[in-house]
Structure 1
Amino acid sequence: MELLTYLPQVFSGVNILILVLGTIIGLLLGSMPGVSPTMAVALLIPFTFHMDSTAGLILLGVIYASTVAGGAVSAILINIPGAPANIATILDGHPMARNGRATEALHYCFISSGIGGILGVLVLIFFTPPLAELALRFGPSELFWVAILGVTVIGSLGSTSVLKGLIAGAFGIWISLIGFNPILGTERFVFSGHLQGGISIVPALIGLFAIPQVLYMVESAWRGQTGEQFQMEGRSIWQSVRYNLRRVRSLSLGSVVGAVVGLIPGAGGQIAGLLAYDQDKKFSGHPEKYGKGEPDGVIASESANNAMVGSSLVPMFSLGIPGSPTAAVLLGGLLIQGLFPGPDLFTQHASVVWTFLGALLCAQILLMVFGLYISSLSRFVIGIPKEYMAGAVAVLAIFGTYSVQHSFSDVLVMLVLGTGMYFFMRYGFSPGPVVLGIILGPIAEENLLQGLIIAPALDGPMPYFFTGTINLILIGLCVMSIGYSIYSELKIRSRRRAGERAGGAPEA
């Protein structure tokens, strides 16, 4: 096998140094709110100009994988996702931390990230040619239904009720429409000059998650609650490893969903993590535990977003079609090195490609090892007084928002969205559905409009969107997702009524 032939090159002097340093730097960058994997890879592309092709690709690939995993640190400890891919991790990761299980949650995060990442890279190694052909079959109609499948998750995503989740998701979709129509170029809902460029995902993500948390910490400090945010319990790494490996359903479901979503061009880790979380919740015998500190929720979402990393490179290497926004930036780094995607890449540049794949596989193990070490240091973050933590998070939020497009308008939008979310959270609304609506809105709209342009040249809109094997499978999954969400909600309500009739206290 060619991978084994070129694997020793991974451990040569320069390559192993880049592999280790890249993993550590990626974990640190990923844990900073606002520094997304896409931004991290883009920032490091200039450093590869004077490297040889192999070393440059190893650096970019390792940064990609480790920043996705590192984003869970801030998600679990301070309720702010380091990247969009870590949104689902917040739902159970932060409640676990508040229950004194922060180290345990971080253990599950890095162990499942490593396992999911290994599966994603193995998919890239063994199944690139056939899966690239599958990726080509996803046109506008299929991508539209993928976005709709993601929308079906909104109702049960972190809110206290399905109705509030749907309202928050609809608000997020409306926010995504602000700006210019992607096809016609007309302005929509631009009632201020600061909104002419629309609302980008990073400012919205930081505002909706970071600013409410900053205001909450300021409020707690003002009331005199200046001690630790929450207590921590000791947790053995081996205990976490044994427990994690026993969660076969969550690990396998998350890894498979992540690998499949990664193949779909443009989907990204945020959709992978949220879909895996939702499906794991639906297959669980106790869905009511999710959102209150259920370890399976962390395991499923983190294994999914790292499994997406390897599979997102399948269409990029074989067809030049990136499977995620970060893969698109990585494609730029590939072209800068004079490497052009296609079937010949694995033959004409076999040494570079197979060494890179071996390094990416080793990076999954390294991020697991270094991540578990970082988990033991989380007690220092938790011990920081709230007033200092609030100041640090606010500075990072403003810096991270401004650095995306160097726009002061983005900072204003971030502050307005965050302040509004702080008040809405008091009434049971969650930022998760809003962010998911912002992410999925443009994907659904652009592919719907493209499909409506293409359809008249074929058999018309109805056959175009409602026929074809992939379309029918996705439609069936949408119907099943909606039906199961309604069934789960009714089941939980019937349990509450039964508890009340039995004289017990109703569940929160």
Structure 2
Amino acid sequence: MEFLFYFGDVFTPFNFMLLLIGTIGGLILGATPGLSPTMAVALLIPFTFKLDATQGLILLGAAYTSTVAGGAVSAILLKIPGAPANIATTLDGHTMAKNGQGARALQLSFISSAIGGVFGVLLLIFLTPVLAEWALAFGPSHLFWLAILGVTVIGSLDSSSVVKGLLSGCIGLWLATIGFDDVMGAQRFIFHSSVSGGINIIPALIGLFAIPQVITMFAKGRHQHDAEVLKVEKSPIMDSIREVFRRSRALSIGTLTGSFIGLIPGVGGQIAGLVAYDQARKTSREQKKFGTGHSEGVIAAESANNAMVGPSLVPLLTLSIPGSPTAAVLLGGLLIHGIFPGSDLFENYPDVAWTFINSMLIGQILMCVFGLYVAGLAARVAQVPNAVMAAVVLALAVFGSYSVQTSMGDVYIMAALGTGMYFLERFGFSAAPLVLGLILGPIAEANFVQGAMIANATSSMGAYFFTGALNLTLIGIVVASIAYSVWMELRQRRYLSKEDTLEQQERTT
């Protein structure tokens, strides 16, 4: 209970002011397409040079927490995920916004994010030593099977059929191979100098989600808007709170999934949100409502991507191993002040470590309070005319893509992928499986190659990848996920065929 001793340090005037600045600034940065949590934290690093280590980490930690949650704003209102972690939020959140329930969707997302985030930070507080040892158990073979598990989710994720979902995922896996091979250094599918370094996930994410929507809005034309003006329905906050706890199954799945995946180095919140969304849908009694503006989809996705924040810092604070790109930036923030994290961090610098962790706990609550306050105002974005909205979204897409590496090549990639996705959507393909394939491709490939090298030096490939309790458990889950997706597809087809038969019988009678 040592953390309670340093709890009061968070509420000193200057520390609390930094916490407020980091929380509000993180929400704004998170809602801006292209500014990922990693970039947001990196942008704030120079502002910590004149601060001591504790104050600097409070600012960075608050920004990290609220940026992940803030990405839901653009995901819900504009269908542009503020960060990869918010991909799954678009699937039901944006549909709710189009139905005039943008305020309710934002309220559900912030409340779920706060609950998941608090749970994740509590895990960081109470189970850090145990979780650190457990995280070390994941080697290249386990991370490879975990990536394959994510690939199996593709088949049933926001697509009209398993086959189309898998094809979308395969396109994403192919796009992930463009560039230089990380191990051998060989060129692969480099058609133009703009893709010589591979396809950056942020421009791809913006293009695949934003550009098809921009083209659709421009196609509708300004004259059609008057008939399509959306009324923003008022949503009492207490109703949203009751809704979140009423959907306790989706909340639990999201929180536990996010905590589990956040602990594994190199996986990331984008996978946590998508896997949680998929599992919440598979175990729900209202599966058909997912993708049509169902609250469970928003709750599961947002609770997962914030629940992973706390556990993702476990390897960093105890083993000096950054568990995510954002954690690597936080490591730089520590090193700037001469603090090297490790097993003795809590012994040598308990005031820094515990005050930082406590500030993240309070930051989750502040993020929820400020998020709920602006939810009703932000939801009015849905009432902006189509022509104006399309122009604003296009400008944000160009700005977000260019700002990642200050490269026009990223803008061209964004435009090309977005245009291609527009035509794919006409044939029933979805952007979410494609993005997931693009994200998981490098993880699966890198860990397979590393595992193959280790296997060649120690044992056979079969023994390395197909033996061991953890490997067998992950393989079993992969097989079960594939089988379930196929079974659900067949079940849905039988149901539809029965409905068609009944309709024909009614017509004949």
How far, CA to CA, are the matches of 1:257 and 1:342 in structure 2?
26
Give the corresponding residue for 1:102.
102
TM-score normalised by length of structure 1: 0.97
Change (3 A) 1:192 1:226: farther
1:285 aligns with 2:275: no
Task: Give the counterpart letter for 2:31 in structure 1.
Answer: S
Give the corresponding residue for 2:54.
54
How far, CA to CA, are the matches of 2:244 and 2:27 in structure 1?
21
Give the corresponding residue for 1:67.
67
Identity of aligned residues (%): 58
Give the corresponding residue for 2:267.
267
Give the corresponding residue for 1:191.
191
Matches within 5 A, 1:155-234: 155-222=155-222, 224-225=224-225, 230-234=230-234
Task: Give the counterpart letter for 2:129 in structure 1.
Answer: P
Change (3 A) 1:504 1:236: farther
How far, CA to CA, are the matches of 1:249 and 1:371 in structure 2?
23
Q: CA deviation at 1:407?
A: 1.4
Secondary structure of the structure 2 residue equivalent to 1:377:
helix
How far, CA to CA, are the matches of 1:494 and 1:105 in structure 2?
33
How far, CA to CA, are the matches of 1:61 and 1:379 in structure 2?
27
TM-score normalised by length of structure 2: 0.97
How far, CA to CA, are the matches of 2:202 and 2:91 in structure 1?
19
Give the corresponding residue for 1:250.
250
How far, CA to CA, are the matches of 1:45 and 1:343 in structure 2?
24
1:358 aligns with 2:377: no
Change (3 A) 1:282 1:339: same
What is the alpha-carbon root mean square deviation over aligned residues?
A: 1.4
Contact map agreement 1:220 1:226 (CA 8 A) in 2:
no
Give the corresponding residue for 1:413.
413
How far, CA to CA, are the matches of 1:489 and 1:181 in structure 2?
36
Task: Give the counterpart letter for 1:37 in structure 2.
Answer: P
Contact map agreement 1:228 1:382 (CA 8 A) in 2:
no
Contact map agreement 1:96 1:105 (CA 8 A) in 2:
yes
Give the corresponding residue for 2:122.
122
Task: Give the counterpart letter for 1:267 in structure 2.
Answer: V
Give the corresponding residue for 1:394.
394
Give the corresponding residue for 1:438.
438
Give the corresponding residue for 1:235.
235
Q: CA deviation at 1:222?
A: 4.8
How far, CA to CA, are the matches of 1:90 and 1:229 in structure 2?
20
**Structure 1 residues 2-51: Cα deviation after superposition (integer angstroms, max 9, x where no partner):** 21111111010111101112111111111111111111011111111111
Contact map agreement 1:88 1:277 (CA 8 A) in 2:
yes
Deviates more, 1:155-164 or 1:353-362: 155-164
Contact map agreement 1:173 1:438 (CA 8 A) in 2:
yes
Q: CA deviation at 1:229?
A: 5.5
**Structure 1 residues 183-216: Cα deviation after superposition (integer angstroms, max 9, x where no partner):** 0000011122222111010110011111112212
Secondary structure of the structure 1 residue equivalent to 2:369:
helix
1:339 aligns with 2:339: yes
How far, CA to CA, are the matches of 1:279 and 1:154 in structure 2?
12
How far, CA to CA, are the matches of 2:98 and 2:439 in structure 1?
28
Deviates more, 1:418-427 or 1:458-467: 418-427
Give the corresponding residue for 1:3.
3
Give the corresponding residue for 1:447.
447
| TM superposition outliers: structure 1 runs of 4+ over 4 Å | 226-229
Contact map agreement 2:6 2:355 (CA 8 A) in 1:
yes
How far, CA to CA, are the matches of 1:249 and 1:361 in structure 2?
23
Q: CA deviation at 1:383?
A: 2.1
1:486 aligns with 2:486: yes
Contact map agreement 1:36 1:82 (CA 8 A) in 2:
yes
How far, CA to CA, are the matches of 2:504 and 2:4 in structure 1?
61
Secondary structure of the structure 2 residue equivalent to 1:156:
coil
How far, CA to CA, are the matches of 1:419 and 1:334 in structure 2?
42
Q: CA deviation at 1:496?
A: 1.4
How far, CA to CA, are the matches of 1:301 and 1:27 in structure 2?
17
Contact map agreement 1:227 1:383 (CA 8 A) in 2:
no
How far, CA to CA, are the matches of 2:504 and 2:89 in structure 1?
31
Task: Give the counterpart letter for 1:371 in structure 2.
Answer: G
Secondary structure of the structure 1 residue equivalent to 2:326:
helix
Secondary structure of the structure 2 residue equivalent to 1:502:
helix
Query: How many residues are paired up?
Result: 505
Structure 2: runs of 5 or more not aligned: none
Task: Give the counterpart letter for 1:91 in structure 2.
Answer: L
**Structure 1 residues 375-422: Cα deviation after superposition (integer angstroms, max 9, x where no partner):** 111243122222222222212111111111111111111111111111
